[in-house]
Amino acid sequence: FTGLRVICVAFLAVKWTSPGFDAESLRGARVLVTGASTGIGEQIAYHYARYGAQIVITARREKVLQQVSEKCLSLGAQKALYIAGDMASESDPDKVVDFALAKLGGLDYLVLNHIGSSPFSMWDGDVEHTRWLMKVNFFSYVQMAWKALDSLEQSKGSLVIVSSVLGKMPAPFVAPYTSTKFALNGFFGALQHELSMKKSNVSISICTLGLIDTDSAMEKIRGIIDAKPYPATEAALNIIITGATRQLELYYPWSTYIMNLSKDWFPSVTNYVVQSSYNYSP
Ligand code: NDP
């Protein structure tokens, strides 16, 4: 066991020795952040603002976006613009990227983070909801990435995908959500290969997050799961650094990496632990 522990620690140390992050590289950077009216996306916008970036934020609620963009300006953003859009619509994903390209003259970072609301409960056969959620959480990501790719190629830019440990290992109560995150990991994992083979200038970072203390997440799990959440502001900073240093992936907190390994190495034990962590009786 001691030998195994040494190997694991050495492996993790190498894995998390990230290349140096230069905060100055974000001054004036042209950034589009989705799902930025609240939660992790809002915190991502504030961090970019502190670094002096030029930011476009989007979500559905215009009034809230206006408040977030005003705060971004007060924190030091060179520009903070907003555009309301519904990512379930066919045309809004393109409209939002076009707006950012026109207002900022191109993009250095596209941070795809938004999610549609989904019930935290056993699958009840609502196929229409799953189809809708796929549009919001997956197809709009694909559409926006494609629309921004030429500009990111020119700027040697980065595409940052906010995903979840539930995109690596399934869990109960979130069948539609977990499917959308698996789809993201599959699609953008394939695109990472293709861009690398084409020697593209664009980097893709896929961010695997564990439980984060956003209002929406906390409200969902209350009384059902008793787990320690991690701070949204720290998750947001890690996401930004991962994009800026062009790393392929982020695991935040680091225990999500262990969870990911354990589901392959010890599937029965992992399933038992996952199911036992729910306060549920049939
Ligand atoms: P929130 O629910 O707090 O925020 C979701 C954002 O998406 C809001 O800005 C919301 O704004 C926007 N949004 C919702 N529906 C739409 C829509 N139809 N069109 C456009 N925008 C929409 O989410 P979190 O901050 O908790 O999560 C952010 C990311 O982190 C997600 O990708 C999530 O999967 C990931 N993650 C979060 C975890 C957590 O525990 N919090 C754990 C693992 C991953 P508006 O209502 O104004 O449209």
* Percentage with pLDDT > 70 across the chain: 93
- Please indicate whether residue 185, judged by its CB atom, sits closer than 6 Å to ligand 1: no
Which pLDDT score, from 0 to 100, does residue 202 have? 98
N-to-C CA span, the chain = 38
Q: Best of 214, 238, 257, 259 to mutate for ligand 1, by most ligand atoms within 8 A of CB? A: 214
Rounded CA separation 26/263 (Å) = 37
Contact (CB, 8 A) for 218 and 229: yes
Nearest Cα to Cα of residue 211 among 182, 231, 234, 233: 231
Write the ipTM: 0.99
Residue 56 confidence (pLDDT) above 70: yes
For residue range 202-241, what is the model confidence (pLDDT) as tens digits?
999 999 999 999 999 999 999 999 899 999 999 999 999 9
Q: Which residue has its alpha carbon closest to ligand 1 atom 1?
A: 39
Looking at every residue in the chain, the average pLDDT score rounds to 94
Rounded CA separation 122/14 (Å) = 39
**Domains of the chain listed by start with CATH number:** 22-276 (3.40.50.720)
For residue range 242-278, what is the model confidence (pLDDT) as tens digits?
999 999 999 999 999 999 999 999 999 999 999 999 9
Which pLDDT score, from 0 to 100, does residue 282 have? 86
Query: What angle do helix axes 255-265 and 267-276 make, rounded to 10 degrees?
Result: 120
**What are phi and psi for residue 161, nearest 5 degrees?**
-110, 120
Which pLDDT score, from 0 to 100, does residue 266 have? 97
Residue 2 confidence (pLDDT) above 60: no
- Please indicate whether residue 116, judged by its CB atom, sits closer than 6 Å to ligand 1: yes
- Please indicate whether residue 164, judged by its CB atom, sits closer than 6 Å to ligand 1: yes
Contact (CB, 8 A) for 148 and 191: no
Residues assigned a catalytic role: 177
* Residue 9 or 198, more confident: 198
**What are phi and psi for residue 206, nearest 5 degrees?**
-105, 120
For residue range 3-40, what is the model confidence (pLDDT) as tens digits?
555 555 555 555 555 579 999 999 999 999 999 999 99
Contact (CB, 8 A) for 188 and 202: no
Which pLDDT score, from 0 to 100, does residue 18 have? 58
- Please indicate whether residue 89, judged by its CB atom, sits closer than 6 Å to ligand 1: no
Contact (CB, 8 A) for 73 and 95: no
